[in-house]
Amino acid sequence: MLDKKKKSIILIVLFFVITYCILYAIGIALTPENKELIQTYRTVELKSVFAEDDNTLDALVVGHSGVLYGSSPMEMYDAYGITSYNLAKTTQAPFEAYHTLTEVLKHQTPKVIVLNIDEFTYDKFDNLAKIAGLDFLNKAFPIFNVHTRWKYIAEDQVIPRSITKNYCCYSTIKPYKGHKKMEPTDKVHHIFKPWEKYLNKICDLCEERGIGIIFVEYPTKTFWNYKRHNGFQIFADNRGIKFIDFNLLEEEIGLDWSHDTCDKGDHMNAYGAKKCSLYVAKYITETYGLVNHRGEEKYAKWEEDLQKYRETYGEIEI
């Protein structure tokens, strides 16, 4: 006969096991067959990339918040007629960038990937630990991601189109008032080996698919420096990849730190983003022979998106 203490422990364990099994089963039952419909707090707008018609995107821009605030697909489309999507997440980890790309490339055949590279400098293990922890919980408890699915149980859930293509458009102006400059140095940043592994995996993926790739560092005054520039320039040179570091092109693109940042120098606002976006659009159009889709019937939805975008955010004057 088991004593009362052992019985209590067994009952408690059974309670948690049964509860977990029930929650897991409900989560699986509510999970849509197309797992691309699953949304988390960091991927709501990003998931709208799957609302785009297959094989209609010319370019994919990948990165974390620097891309989220710095790359505007609709400005690129308006000026050059090229279609792109902003595949950014806040504090995006390198392994997330790779896995996001592999999923999107099941539906799109872009000519070029624009990869923001400062996420490959991450040493903020506290943030990455949180991301890994949330990823584990989402997999262990599917119901966390689909707890509102019951609302749509009788009908297919439809992913809405995004008029910004996951770009965060902020016209707020909070000037950078410091005097930090990119001071040349011979020092070289050594890429953390696990991140270098995923950087190579992304480059290899593009090579295997016949997709061009360029590296970009969007303007920031908070943590980027010449040492890091040197490290990624060497990596890019070794792989024959173009590296556009906007922190060395401030005068060329007319960047104004008293006007073009929304948070005192960490990220771009709508004005800075347009300057960077048009520069990238011009480069990839000329380098990869991208076609102007304005007026093409196949891209009528983009014309509708552009109209809604302008109605919402207006003309961004630079």
pLDDT band at 136 (very low <50, low <70, confident <90, very high): low
How do residues 156-182 score in pLDDT, each as one tens digit? Answer: 457 789 999 999 999 999 999 998 989
Least confident of 172-176, 190-194, 234-238: 190-194
Asked if 190 and 235 touch (Cβ cutoff 8 Å), the reply is: no
pLDDT at 40 > cutoff 50: no
pLDDT at 153 > cutoff 70: no
How do residues 265-294 score in pLDDT, each as one tens digit? Answer: 999 999 999 999 999 999 999 999 999 999
Percent of the chain with pLDDT over 70: 75
SS (H, E, C) the chain: CCCHHHHHHHHHHHHHHHHHHHHHHHHHHHCCCCHHHCCCCCCCCHHHHHHCCCCCCCEEEEECHHHHHHCCHHHHHHHHCCCEEEEECCCCCHHHHHHHHHHHCCCCCCCEEEEECHHHHCCCHHHHHHHHHHHHHHHHCCHHHHCCHHHHCCCCCCCCCCCCCCCCCCCCCCCCCCCCCCCCCCCCCCCCHHHHHHHHHHHHHHHHHCCEEEEEECCCCCCCCHHHHHHHHHHHHHHCCEEEEHHHCHHHHCCCCCCCECCCCCCECHHHHHHHHHHHHHHHHHHHCCCCCCCCHHHHHHHHHHHHHHHHHCCCCC
Please list, in sequence order, all residues whose beta carbon lies within 8 angstroms of the beta carbon of residue 41, skipping any fewer than 6 positions away: none
Q: For residue 312, what pLDDT is reported?
A: 96
How do residues 199-222 score in pLDDT, each as one tens digit? Answer: 999 999 999 999 999 999 999 999
What gap in Å lies between CA 118 and CA 215, rounded to an integer? 10
Least confident of 109-118, 147-156, 207-216, 239-248: 147-156
Q: For residue 155, what pLDDT is reported?
A: 44
pLDDT at 39 > cutoff 50: no
Q: For residue 129, what pLDDT is reported?
A: 57
Please list, in sequence order, all residues whose beta carbon lies within 8 angstroms of the beta carbon of residue 313, skipping any fewer than 6 positions away: 164, 169, 171, 270
Asked if 97 and 189 touch (Cβ cutoff 8 Å), the reply is: no
With 0.85 as the threshold, say if the pTM is over it. Answer: no
Q: For residue 186, what pLDDT is reported?
A: 97
Q: For residue 5, what pLDDT is reported?
A: 64
Backbone angles phi and psi of 88, in degrees to 5: -115, 150
Q: For residue 299, what pLDDT is reported?
A: 97
* Section 70-91 average pLDDT: 96
What gap in Å lies between CA 13 and CA 19, rounded to an integer? 10
Q: For residue 105, what pLDDT is reported?
A: 96
pLDDT at 74 > cutoff 80: yes
Q: For residue 95, what pLDDT is reported?
A: 86
pLDDT band at 12 (very low <50, low <70, confident <90, very high): low
Asked if 232 and 215 touch (Cβ cutoff 8 Å), the reply is: yes
Q: For residue 166, what pLDDT is reported?
A: 94
What is the residue-averaged pLDDT of the chain? 84
